[in-house]
Amino acid sequence: MNLHCSTMGKGRPLILIHGWGMHGGVWNDCAGALARRFRVLCPDLPGHGHSPAPPAPIGLTDLAGACLPLLEEESLILGWSLGGLVALALARQAPERVAGLVLTGATPRFAAGEGWPHGMAPRMLEAFRTRLAEDTPRTLQRFLALQAQGDSAGRGLLRRLQAIAAQAPAPDTTALASGLAILENSDLRPTLAEISCPVLVIHGETDALVPVAAAVHLATTFPRARLHRFARAGHVPFLSRAGEFLRCLMEFAAHER
């Protein structure tokens, strides 16, 4: 699968992977600042933004495989939400190319279950699946609202997310259904200890989609990880706390080798 990818800057490659229902343009503000130091690549995942839709339902391995050609030696990857799962899969598929991971709004398992209370209730994910089939635009708007929920930036953040989403074509319904199935069914907890590269976990303490306890689990399971928590921030701290987010990322990149 060929992906549409915006590229800017020079230097070490830094791949920014967006979340479900969004597109690579969500990183535009961050990318401009990061391009002063890195060669920043912002792909649209299959069926999102300007990337062609997949011909059939796809899984997490397929998403990672689509992003794999973007990786070079010493690449850094920043994954947000669903993009965090893709980043984790890439770090396992091509560990020799991944120098470090930054995970934000990320979790090894989105759905709550036995022994894992740090996720969305399965009935909520099931409801999203049903509503996605019935009314895709409204379901996407509801998901944007959850991303802004709990953040002190409030409605201003929601309006910003809505404006960013509107800058690209609506996501393909098959791609959306595939992504939602990945969120429902993926559980990468057994693989975390295999990821040996440095990891920075950045998380909003009032994230309404991924409890901060999931970020704590990530940071305490990776062999080489650190955690930064943002008070009164929700699911998109790279937008609502952009300055501090960038400082954390730059500091990590300077010391992760």
What does the pLDDT read at residue 199?
98
Q: Domain limits of the chain? A: 5-255
pTM greater than 0.95 (yes/no):
yes
* Catalytic site includes residue 207: yes
Provide the percentage of residues in the chain whose pLDDT is more than 70. 100
Catalytic residue among 44, 62, 172, 207: 207
Catalytic residue among 6, 51, 75, 81: 81
Nearest to 186 by CA among 63, 45, 96, 102: 63
DSSP type of residue 113? B
The mean per-residue pLDDT over the stretch 118-136 comes to 94
* Catalytic site includes residue 29: no
For 62-96, the pLDDT digits (tens) are 999 999 999 998 999 999 999 999 999 999 999 99
* Catalytic site includes residue 172: no
The mean per-residue pLDDT over the stretch 204-219 comes to 98
Question: Phi first, then psi: what are they for 41, rounded to 5°?
Answer: -115, 125
In terms of residues, how long is the chain?
257
Q: Look at residue 257 and tell me whether its pLDDT is greater than 70.
A: no
pLDDT bracket for residue 1 (50, 70, 90) = confident
Catalytic residue among 23, 118, 217, 235: 235
Q: CATH for 5-255?
A: 3.40.50.1820
Residues whose CB is less than 8 angstroms from the CB of residue 109 and which lie 6 or more positions away in sequence, other chains included: 116, 118, 119, 186, 187, 188, 189, 214
The mean per-residue pLDDT over the stretch 180-196 comes to 96
What does the pLDDT read at residue 246?
98
